[in-house]
A and B are shown apart, each in its own frame.
Chain A
Amino acid sequence: MIDPSKPDLEESVNVTEAHERVVRGAAAASRESKLKENGAEPISLWVLILCAVPLLAAGWTLGKAGTLFSYKDITREDYVRVIPSDGESAKLPPTDYLTASIKKGQKIFAKCAGCHGADGKGDGANYPPLAGSEFVNGPHERFAMVILNGLTGPTSSGKTFGVMPSQAAGLNGEDLSHVMNYVRHSFGNSAADVVTKQMGTAALEISGKRAKAGASVTADELNADHKKNLPGDPIDPKMMVDPITLEPAEAK
């Protein structure tokens, strides 16, 4: 008979035997817990963790989808390309004022190229050359008057070509300045200064206040009244500007 209150002191308890019983029981229990039916292995933790990776990734993707099930949102903003944060992509690199103005003037000159030729040489019979012309290269008010009013009679070379009609229709001061800059710096011409937007606007005013407003100018009138530069502040042709707006821009 074992006294449960003091089992360890009982001589009658065979410790070895008790141990063996425990070990046998443990072995049986461990066999039991390992005993599994074929094909009934539980899903192990690492497989579940592995499956959690695509779950997280899918959640990330869905999170980027914006408003789910909304037919209003057609594409996610900025999907197609990554816009750099410096904002550089929005603007073209700055160039100097003269280059930018010439580039704009070249497009406007397309109208003039019909008679004077894309190379500015004219045809020698009806259309005078712009290359080397004194009216073109000299003081620029004369040149502006020719463009805005047209010209009859002899040109600066003294030779008489056909009548040049007025080109003022649809031409504003800014465009006038660009096309003048283009002609004065192309076809071998190289004027020293640039015509600014302010000067072009002034040319429109002067043209409107002429005594014989609306009629073509003649060489005599040009040399008498307009042999001077247009009024306005000169500009540094090397000043860096935005090629679209022609506003001053910092060089990178």
Chain B
Amino acid sequence: MSAASSQTSDAIRRAEIDRSLRHPVMFFFTSGAAWLAVAILLGIISSAKTHSPDFLSGCAFLTYGRVQPAHMNALIYGWGCQAAFGSLVWLMARLSRQECRAAGLILTAGHVWNFSLALGIIGILSGNSTGIPWMEMPKFAWVPMLLAYAAIAIWSMVQFKVRPSGHVFISQWYILAALIWFPWVFATAHIFVHGFSGSPLMAAAINAWYRSALLFLFFLPAGIAAAYYLIPKVTGRPVYSYTLSLLGFWSLAIIAPWAGMQKLAGAPIPNFLPYLGAAATILVAIPCIAVAVNLLKTAAGAPETVVNSPSLRFTVAGLFGLLVTGFAATFLNVPSFLPLSQFSLSQYGFDVLALYGFFSFVAFGMIYFVVPRVTRREWLSSRLIKMHFFLSIYGVMTIALVAIFGGLMQGQAQEDFKQPWENAMTYANPYAVATTLSWCLLLFSNVWFFVHLALMWLRLGRRSSHPTLLGHAHHDDLHDATHGPEGDIDNGGPGSASAAHAHSH
């Protein structure tokens, strides 16, 4: 077989894998983006209520105690999990070089997930929340979600098992870890909290562990897997250091399961549990640093590509978010700040930072990379992408900074017990207003992102073989030039379009 023909068959294989997963992947991405818009809308309402309690106070189902959990659940299970599923499923198929043979099952499972989630969110808004953070959805929601997850994940594990022998990509370590850790974390927490009638105090401790484990053992590896794929792939450079990637993976695997119980510091559980949790959360900074440095060093070798590629821009921004997450994990959990961060805005700020500042950015990068390949269309507008990028950056930076530092101010005021309680709220007020405004920015950018994505799914994207590039906006001629000529629908690499078509007919 000549080099050219092996290249062609390679391109055909990629195109086949992409086609086999088109519907589930697009379903996860689009419905994830829709949930993201819903989550942000709920986030605006709940944040507005912290500084203007009378806002929408007429509706019982829009009270803070319902909107805030609905906001977090929609963000985590609606957007986060579905974006993660879409990219994990696609990545595993591509990296194992296997077509997906269960697209219909995955798609059905995706619908089950969505349906249970929608019922769960309605349950929360109608006042039937369980009141357990991040597990607020009524009990009927989580069993179908777990089953749906199993149906989604199992085929990726099979693909890994039957992959052509040889090298295991770094991304595959993380995908496999995320796929295995998610059911462990999700099932353990839900069974222990909802299934057994144990001590409510231990249920609170398990819940605290669950919130941190979901972040560190699912969203972190899922995002890192995508970043480890995208950056070497788009820049065409090998990963900077294999040693660093080993350090990053194993330190995460060893440290992250211990984290989380610092949320219960001061509660009547054995003293070492919260402090061990705080120390482990601090140590999560090490995998964050290892992964971010490794990938940023890789990307630094191709600065032009980073500027021009939408996927890379988002991914690199997400890696900076990962560094900041590591810094915040360290900063918020040292003994002097622990009492201040516990009952204030900063916990929320940290969750948003990890979920949005890191994971969502990488997921956006992944979506901008994957969607043109599975739909065989290019993105309609580089301006919409740029707008999405900048508004997201400003929005999430403001939320994270404001919630973390405003939360510390609030915590400081709460500790000063000689002052009336209202003082603490007064301190937090300007920060809460800023949070609302940033969610508004994010809502604006993400509604357009959803529209853009939906148009792509309808296959209304540009028929062009040239990737969407983000040239500098002030070069008018370049803006057109970056799109390349229209009419060529070949996305699968040189010489692959006709071959792929011939094969499929």
Asked if chains A and B come from one complex, the reply is yes
Q: A6 to B278: give the CA distance in the assembly, Å.
A: 70
Q: A244 to B41: give the CA distance in the assembly, Å.
A: 53
Q: Which of B240, B265, B270, B271 has the most CB of A within 10 A?
A: B271
Q: A207 to B240: give the CA distance in the assembly, Å.
A: 97
A61 engages B278 (CB within 8 Å): yes
Q: A65 to B271: give the CA distance in the assembly, Å.
A: 7
- Residues in A with CB closer than 8 Å to B121 are none
Return the contact of A51 from the options B265, B290, B297 (Cβ within 8 A). Answer: B290
Which DSSP category, helix, strand, loop or mixed, fits chain B's interface?
Answer: helix
Give the shortest distance, in Å, between A231 (CB) and chain B (any CB): 43
Q: A71-B270, A81-B417 are in contact. Are A61 and B334 (CB under 8 A)?
A: yes
B335 engages A64 (CB within 8 Å): yes
Give the shortest distance, in Å, between B387 (CB) and chain A (any CB): 34
Answer yes or no: A41 CB below 8 A from chain B CBs: yes
Which DSSP category, helix, strand, loop or mixed, fits chain A's interface?
Answer: loop
Answer yes or no: A124 CB below 8 A from chain B CBs: no
Q: A81 to B329: give the CA distance in the assembly, Å.
A: 22
- Residues in B with CB closer than 8 Å to A69 are 272
A80 engages B283 (CB within 8 Å): no
Answer yes or no: A158 CB below 8 A from chain B CBs: no
Return the contact of B240 from the options A39, A64, A65, A76 (Cβ within 8 A). Answer: A39
Give the shortest distance, in Å, between B409 (CB) and chain A (any CB): 16
A75 engages B335 (CB within 8 Å): no
Return the contact of B238 from the options A38, A47, A67 (Cβ within 8 A). Answer: A38
A62 engages B286 (CB within 8 Å): no
Q: Which of A47, A59, A65 has the most CB of B within 10 A?
A: A65
Name which of B24-32, B82-90, B241-249, B306-314 contacts chain A.
Answer: B241-249
B283 engages A55 (CB within 8 Å): yes
Q: A62-B275, A64-B275, A80-B266 are in contact. Are A53 and B330 (CB under 8 A)?
A: yes
A70 engages B278 (CB within 8 Å): no
What is the interface residue range for chain B against chain A? 35 or more
Q: A64 to B274: give the CA distance in the assembly, Å.
A: 11
Return the contact of A43 from the options B243, B278, B334 (Cβ within 8 A). Answer: B243
Answer yes or no: B231 CB below 8 A from chain A CBs: no
A43 engages B241 (CB within 8 Å): yes
- Residues in B with CB closer than 8 Å to A90 are none
Q: A40 to B246: give the CA distance in the assembly, Å.
A: 11
B335 engages A39 (CB within 8 Å): no
Answer yes or no: B220 CB below 8 A from chain A CBs: no
Answer yes or no: A4 CB below 8 A from chain B CBs: no
- Residues in B with CB closer than 8 Å to A82 are 415
Q: Which of B244, B247, B279, B333 has the most CB of A within 10 A?
A: B279
Answer yes or no: A211 CB below 8 A from chain B CBs: no
B283 engages A54 (CB within 8 Å): yes
Q: A38-B238, A58-B279, A65-B275 are in contact. Are A43 and B335 (CB under 8 A)?
A: no
Residue positions of A touching B, CB distance < 8 A: 38-43, 47, 50-51, 53-55, 57-62, 64-71, 73-76, 79-82, 89
Across the A-B interface, the 4 shortest Cβ-Cβ residue pairs: A65-B275, A54-B285, A38-B238, A41-B241
Residue positions of B touching A, CB distance < 8 A: 238-244, 247, 265-272, 275-276, 278-280, 282-286, 289-290, 293, 297, 326, 329-330, 333-335, 338-339, 415, 417-418
